[in-house]
């Protein structure tokens, strides 16, 4: 089958078929090899992507900026707080105007449940260039596509029956978005994985995302189980992904959410916890991690950890999606 992804938005992984995600993963692997061997891959010469941030970032901003440069194009960094959006400029006007200047619009708007995904869809409705979700309240598709790439590098392409534990962990730094665990449970179930989600009772995910993950498990041949302890999730796990997230109803009151989180300081991924998982289990984290709270140094810097490989892969998946959607590659067979 031939696919042309030029002009396509990437707002959730769910909106791309597994064949389309496969194209992105294959191209990401090819671009990873080309970067390592210094082979030119200027697929987006003179193209511009706008990076529009309502929140902070290290990996996402820099993987997009470095990525578009390596592809021969250029990124413009825009902070919501220093643009006219801070004075109320509409998503419609942003979409029309930025797409008349360039070739892609990427947005991070992740800290207000009910707002970020809606905002980027409104931009996309009016933009004539593809819109990329650099993390919203619902999904973090570049992160979870990267996680899938990393898992496949470790375990091969057939992931059926592998167990992944997606667990809440304690962090005092800030109330982290809930889009990574949501993105993980909805994507990994499509690949036949046995997904176990663990969290204290207050740290629930969005009901519709749980429902979606259940449906995906049914179609993809995987499982979704929800438990209330990290230990239960880690039992026989091949992949562990413990990270913190906030309370759905308390993103407007982060101090209250952090106070609640402090009741669960024992939700830390340490060596004892890793000993419950399979002997060859890998430890993943999207980063930034709260060292000493979400995870001990001995685990995150230890033999199970794949965090740097995972973080590097953000560059390659980001370049692949931009190249496929911004006109770098017209038709791909898959």
**Site residues for ligand CP per CB under 6 A:** 57-60, 135, 143, 286-288
* Shortest separation between residue 141's beta carbon and ligand CP, angstroms: 11
Spatial neighbors of 237 by CB under 8 A, at least 6 apart, are 163, 164, 165, 196, 276, 277, 278, 281
**Residue whose entry in the numeric block shows the structure tokens 């003179």:** 46
Nearer to ligand CP, 72 or 288 (CB): 288
* Shortest separation between residue 314's beta carbon and ligand CP, angstroms: 7
Nearer to ligand CP, 32 or 176 (CB): 176
Nearer to ligand CP, 49 or 217 (CB): 49
* Shortest separation between residue 226's beta carbon and ligand CP, angstroms: 24
* Shortest separation between residue 133's beta carbon and ligand CP, angstroms: 11
Q: How many CB atoms lie within 10 A of CB 201?
A: 7
Nearer to ligand CP, 20 or 310 (CB): 310
* Shortest separation between residue 236's beta carbon and ligand CP, angstroms: 27
Nearer to ligand CP, 59 or 199 (CB): 59
Report the alpha-carbon distance of residue 247 to residue 85 in Å, rounded.
Answer: 27
* Shortest separation between residue 275's beta carbon and ligand CP, angstroms: 27
Three-state SS for the chain is: CEECCCCCCECCHHHCCHHHHHHHHHHHHHHHHHHHCCCCCCCCCCCEEEEEECCCCCHHHHHHHHHHHHCCCEEEEEEHHHCHHHHCCCHHHHHHHHHHHCCEEEEEECCCCCCHHHHHHHHHHHCCCCEEEEEECCCCHHHHHHHHHHHHHHHCCCCCCCEEEEEECCCCCCCCCCHHHHHHHHHHHHHCCEEEEECCCCCCCCHHHHHHHHHHHHHHCCEEEEECCHHHHHCCCCEEEEECCCCHHHCCCHHHHHHHHHHHCCCCECHHHHHHCCCCCEECCCCCCCECCCECHHHHCCCCECHHHHHHHHHHHHHHHHHHHCCCCCCEEC
Nearer to ligand CP, 200 or 288 (CB): 288
* Shortest separation between residue 297's beta carbon and ligand CP, angstroms: 19
Nearer to ligand CP, 63 or 196 (CB): 63
Nearer to ligand CP, 57 or 309 (CB): 57
* Shortest separation between residue 145's beta carbon and ligand CP, angstroms: 12
Nearer to ligand CP, 232 or 287 (CB): 287
Retrieve residue 246's tokens.
């906030």
* Shortest separation between residue 213's beta carbon and ligand CP, angstroms: 20
């Amino acid at each position: 089958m031939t696919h042309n992804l030029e002009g396509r938005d990437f707002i959730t992984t769910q909106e791309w078929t597994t064949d389309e995600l496969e194209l992105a993963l294959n191209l990401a692997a090819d671009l990873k090899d080309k970067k390592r061997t210094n082979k030119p891959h200027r697929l987006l010469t003179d193209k511009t992507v706008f990076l529009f941030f309502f929140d902070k970032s290290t990996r996402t901003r820099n993987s997009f900026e470095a990525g578009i440069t390596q592809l021969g194009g250029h990124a413009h960094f825009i902070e919501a707080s220093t643009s006219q959006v801070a004075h109320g400029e509409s998503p419609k006007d942003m979409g029309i105007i930025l797409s008349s200047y360039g070739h892609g619009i990427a947005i991070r708007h992740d800290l207000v449940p009910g707002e970020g995904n809606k905002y980027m869809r409104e931009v996309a409705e009016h933009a004539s260039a593809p819109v990329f979700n650099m993390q919203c309240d619902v999904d973090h598709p570049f992160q979870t596509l990267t996680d899938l790439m990393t898992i496949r590098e470790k375990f091969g392409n057939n992931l059926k029956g592998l167990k992944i534990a997606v667990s809440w962990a304690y962090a005092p730094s800030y109330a982290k978005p809930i889009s990574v665990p949501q993105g993980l449970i909805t994507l990994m179930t499509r690949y036949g994985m046995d997904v176990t989600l663990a969290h204290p009772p207050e740290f629930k995910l969005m009901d519709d995302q749980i429902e979606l993950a259940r449906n995906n498990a049914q179609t993809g041949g995987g499982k979704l189980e929800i438990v209330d302890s990290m230990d239960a999730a880690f039992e026989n796990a091949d992949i562990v992904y413990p990270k913190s997230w906030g309370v759905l109803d308390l993103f407007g009151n982060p101090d209250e959410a952090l106070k609640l989180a402090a009741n669960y300081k024992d939700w830390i991924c340490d060596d004892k916890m890793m000993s419950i998982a399979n002997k060859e289990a890998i430890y993943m984290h999207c980063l930034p991690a709260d060292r000493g709270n979400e995870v001990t140094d001995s685990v995150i810097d230890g033999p199970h950890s794949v965090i740097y490989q995972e973080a590097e892969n953000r560059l390659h998946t980001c370049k692949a999606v931009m190249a496929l959607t911004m006109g770098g590659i017209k038709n791909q067979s898959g």
